[in-house]
Amino acid sequence: MVSDRSPVNLGGLRGVKHLLAMLLGGLTFIASSQAGAAADGPDSSSSDPAIPVARPNPKIRHLELLHVPTRYTVTRGAEGFSITVDHSSFRRRKVSVGRDMEIGVQEDYYVYRKGEKRPAQTVAGGIGAGPDFGDRETTGLPAGRDGVPVKGRKYIVELKWVLFETDRRWGYGDWDPQYGKYRVLLKGTFRKEI
């Protein structure tokens, strides 16, 4: 039976070296974790100061390789228009992104008669988390005001997209990425006469 006061067998000199390495490694981890938390600012919240807290920081940048479409296909039907990402048109783009920032895409769709100004009102649109344009395969643009599309008339279908970063996490309440630290990373416009 071993009592609390029994000597511990460390396995000789090799056991002592192993124990010292473990203790030094643990102290190094705690010191680096506390330094990381201090660098994140006094408002860092963690129940354990030894666990590093990842905080969004747009000042610390890194490059990410993202796939961005360069073409879309537009089809016209009796009930409206539909727009589809052309998957063969994806091009890789290096984009500078802030540390732990949420990436998202905002898309605004417009349909208007050829020769007229683009209206301020969109016919469709949305904001989504993540840089994946592929999950936005086909978007239906329903018939709009004035019976759009009128047979025999030409229209412009326009898509304006913005790839952005924000420190607002997706899925928390009414997500508004422009509230807080918001930055446009890339943007583009696609126009098609149909």
- Please indicate, yes or no, whether the overall pTM of this predicted structure exceeds 0.75: no
Provide the domain limits for residue 101.
Answer: 57-193
- 45 in the same domain as 134: no
Give the integer Cα–Cα distance in Å for 108 and 122: 6
With a cut of 70, list the residues of the chain below it in pLDDT. Answer: 1-54, 132-138, 142-147, 172-173
Q: What per-residue confidence (pLDDT) applies to 17? A: 45
Alpha helices in 124-181 (DSSP H): none
Give the integer Cα–Cα distance in Å for 167 and 41: 15
**Contact (Cβ atoms closer than 8 angstroms) between residue 162 and residue 142:** no
Assigned domain for 1 exists: no
Q: What per-residue confidence (pLDDT) applies to 81? A: 87
- 73 in the same domain as 88: yes
How far apart, in Å, are the Cα atoms of 30 and each of 21, 24, 38, 51, 148? 14, 10, 12, 8, 64
- 61 in the same domain as 50: no
Q: What per-residue confidence (pLDDT) applies to 157? A: 92
- 27 in the same domain as 62: no
| Per-residue burial over 64-73, b = 16 or more CB atoms within 10 Å of its CB, e = otherwise | eebebbeebe
Answer with the one of 34, 55, 76 that is the final residue of a domain: 55
Assigned domain for 147 exists: yes
Among candidate residues 154, 156, 162, the one with its CA nearest the CA of residue 184: 162
- 114 in the same domain as 103: yes
**In the chain, how many domains are there?**
2
